[in-house]
Structure 1
Amino acid sequence: MTNPPPPSSGPDTPTTGETGRADAAASDPNEDDVLARGTFTHLAEPRGAARLAPDDGSWHQISPKYVWVQVISTGAFLAGVVVGMLVLALALHQTWAFIPGGILSVILVWTLAITPRQARSIGYRLRRDDLVFRRGILWQRLVAVPYGRMQLVDITHGPLDRGFGIAQLKFVTAAAATGVTIPGLAQETAEHLRDVLIEVAESRRTGL
């Protein structure tokens, strides 16, 4: 009597690769190619020995279109401040408006000047057990979010973001301090990263 053949590993049979997506996301070259499409190619870092230097590994960056969105929105706000200041000072003879208006205008001009470098400082890395996010030149932030702690992965984008085809990805965890928002991701990249992180987070919570 012939023994029955062993069960095949067809498309309906789960494989170890399906439960090891975290390792694949952290090391798969094809995954890196998807996340690196249309992004900056150089991660900007603060100068000085006391900076929070990124560790070795594959750091992904955001789309240069994020700079244009920030420049347009900040520039529009700056134009409104200047117009309001001139109306108060010249038309209504409220010369005190030059003081707050001038200070705010200088701050906004400085913000516009450093926006490109600030955008190039934003990066994230998919490691085996967590996602590491970094941003900032003057004020740095470096945070690691364990996959198993992610409770919600949310994609949002405003009118300007939609016009330039970008979005921001937000991770919500049990601790508010570890929440992370990655801005300036291409729409396709944001959706792909959301699906990967949801799958990995679910597998870590269930202990697969």
Structure 2
Amino acid sequence: MHEVDADWRRVSPKYVVVEVVGSLIGMAVFVGVGLVVYFLFDQQWALWVAIAIAVASIIGIALEPRRVRSIQYRLREDDLLFRRGIMFQRQVAVPYGRMQLVDITRGPVARALGLADLKFVTAAAATAVTVPGLPMEEADRLRDELVALAETRRAGL
């Protein structure tokens, strides 16, 4: 690992389970609809659509571990830096003084695994960032730390 990358923190590897379960549910719904249309209405195209959706979903599921490993965040002096993506990479810096809300959300699968998502909302809606798959204790600690940093930075404005 490069010295520059040393401060980057990754999300929990258990987050892969959350993503795979979500993908499997989505695949089951869309493939199921395609199969219902095929069997009830005898529409051949619906079978091919269901097969295409299943294949695309399986490929997506195979890439989930690498995609989850690409999700990272880093606390710097004046902002939180967040990056994700394999092919299409996104990197966002959220200044502490611009944070208006730091929110923790937990879906049923994430809750069962002890994970949470931390969402930062700023005045500009386009800069809302969610760091998924954090262990609950880390999400609580990070939320408290970011709220304190945001308060001190806003007080200095």
Q: More strand by proportion, 1 or 2?
A: 2
Structure 1 partner of 2:28? 79
Match of 1:114 among 63, 66, 69: 63
**Which is helix-richer, 1 or 2?**
2
- With 111-120 and 97-106 compared, the bigger mean Cα shift is at 97-106
Please, which of 21, 43, 48 is the counterpart of residue 99 of structure 1? Answer: 48
Q: 1:88 to 1:58 in 2, by over 3 A?
A: same
2:135 to 186, 189, 195: 186
8 Å Cα contact 2:11/2:69 also seen in 1:
yes
Structure 1: give runs of 5+ residues left out of the alignment: 1-41, 43-52
Deviations 1:71-96 (A, max 9, x none): 11211222233333333323442212
CA 145–75 in structure 1, closer or farther in 2 if over 3 Å, else same: same
Give deviations 1:112-138, integer Å, cap 9, x for gaps: 011100000000000111110000001
State the secondary structure of the residue aligned to 1:137. Answer: coil
| Identity over aligned pairs, percent | 53
Secondary structure of 1:128's counterpart equals coil
Aligned counterparts, 1:16-165, within 5 A: 55-165=4-114
Q: TM-score, normalised by structure 1?
A: 0.70
How many residues get paired?
157
Deviations along 1:27-54, one digit per CA (max 9) or x if unpaired, are: xxxxxxxxxxxxxxx8xxxxxxxxxx99
Aligned-partner SS, 1:112: helix
Structure label with greater radius of gyration: 1
Is contact 1:167–1:186 with CA below 8 Å preserved after alignment? yes
CA contact (8 A) 2:31 2:53 kept: no
RMSD of equivalent CA atoms? 2.1
TM-score (norm 2): 0.91
Judge which range, 156-165 or 133-142, deviates more. Answer: 156-165
1:206 CA drift (Å): 0.6
> Which stretch has the larger CA shift, 84-93 or 158-167?
84-93
Q: Any idea what the Cα deviations from partners look like across 1:5-25, whole Å, max 9, x if unmatched?
A: xxxxxxxxxxxxxxxxxxxxx
Contact 1:57 1:125 in 2 (8 A): no
Corresponding letter in the other structure for 1:72: V
Corresponding letter in the other structure for 1:102: I
Letter in 2 for 1:83: G
Q: Distance in 1 between matches of 2:155 and 2:35?
A: 61
Gaps of 5+ in 2: none
